[in-house]
Amino acid sequence: MFFPVKLINHQVPDDLIEQLKSDMADYFNLPLEEKKEFAQLPDGLQGYGQAFVVSEDQKLDWADMHFVVTRPVHQRNMRFWPTRPPSFRGTLERYSVEAKRVASILLAVMAESLEVAEEELMEAFEGMPQGIRMNYYPPCRESGKVVGLSPHTDGVSSLTLLLQANDVNGLQVKHEGLWVPVEPLPGAFIVNAGDILEILTNGKYKSGEHRAMINPNKERLSIATFLFAKDDGQIGPLPGIMKGGKENFITWSYKEYQKSFYTSKLDGPSILEKMKIN
Ligand SMILES: O=C(O)CCC(=O)C(=O)O
Ligand SMILES: [Fe+2]
């Protein structure tokens, strides 16, 4: 499910957003050799590279990305934090704090609408574990023949705050079997529920399938901030939401879930599907 959230009273400072957009554009415009200093390592997820690479002979998405774990702070690996432009690390740090604050507000509002104690929902996200993925989609004349980011749901994510970082649209969500373009509202995040939220809420929030398309003439930039779940926690319907009703998902450790997610092939049923109780 995608829903635009206007951050009235919860504004992330405009200058920070602008700084992030410009730092990120400067970074992706660096020569390849410079970005390679921050390249993903084999079997690693962080750094500069491509999304969803699971085999050597797959067709790659038409995008570069850079992913860093940002929270909890002690789990950061600064080796993957870009040093150019010089302001980038500081900007990411500030943005990470703001995104955490916004995610906490959203969780509190959700707890209320789900009629579950805020503490119970927040417990699943202790430490507000967070990662930031910056996506860069180069233009492609044959844009109809490539896809920027293949259809997916945000698998290990609970909530994704998506910020389109320039004025080129490309996000589409699957709605009733059709791909529907999403036009971001100025000054608003696009908030996406991920698979983890669907499981925790026993399906009350649905994790929406989405993809990113390519523009024939212009590059596109986006920043996805993922709220993960507590590393040593269990992923399953929250008792406070179930209130004794039928569970639609089995419960699994988040560690095992992550392992399975990152080693499974892109095609085939998702972990979410495998966890469903029919
Ligand atoms: O670029 C976009 O609009 C979508 C990005 C996305 O879905 C992701 O990073 O998971
Ligand atoms: Fe996504």
What value does the mean pLDDT of the chain take? 91
Q: Where are the alpha helices (DSSP H) in 6-77?
A: 14-28, 32-36
Give the tens place of pLDDT for each residue, 234-245: 999 999 999 889
Q: What are phi and psi of 206, to 5 degrees?
A: -100, 140
Provide ipTM, 2 decimals. Answer: 0.99
Closest C-alpha to 85, from 158, 1, 20, 132: 20
Confidence at 270, pLDDT banded by 50, 70, 90 = confident
Residue 7 has pLDDT above 60, yes or no: no
Q: Ligand 1 centre from 97 Cα, in Å?
A: 20
Ligand 1 neighbours, Cβ below 6 Å, are: 133, 135, 149, 154, 162, 170-171, 210, 212, 222, 224
* Average pLDDT of the residues in 212-223: 95
Structure-derived torsion over alpha carbons of residues 37, 38, 43, 45, reported in degrees to the nearest 10: -170
Alpha-carbon distance of 201 to 47, in angstroms, equals 31
Atom of ligand 1 nearest to the CA of 210: 7
Q: Which ligand is nearest to the CA of 164?
A: 1
Give the tens place of pLDDT for each residue, 52-109: 555 555 567 889 999 999 999 999 999 999 999 999 999 999 999 999 999 999 999 9
Domains and CATH numbers, the chain: 5-275 (2.60.120.330)
Joined together, the tokens standing for residue 25 give 């554009």
> For the chain, how far is it from start to end, CA to CA, in angstroms?
22
- What pLDDT sits at residue 240? 94
Report the amino acid identity of residue 163. L
Residue 6 has pLDDT above 90, yes or no: no
Q: Which ligand is nearest to the CA of 63?
A: 1
Find all residues with CB under 8 Å of 254, minimum gap 6, and list them: 196, 229, 230, 231, 232, 233, 234, 235
In the three-class reduction of DSSP (H, G, I as helix; E, B as strand; rest coil), residue 13 is classed as coil
- Range of lowest pLDDT (141-150, 180-189, 195-204): 141-150
pTM of the complete model: 0.93
Closest C-alpha to 187, from 10, 19, 23, 26: 10
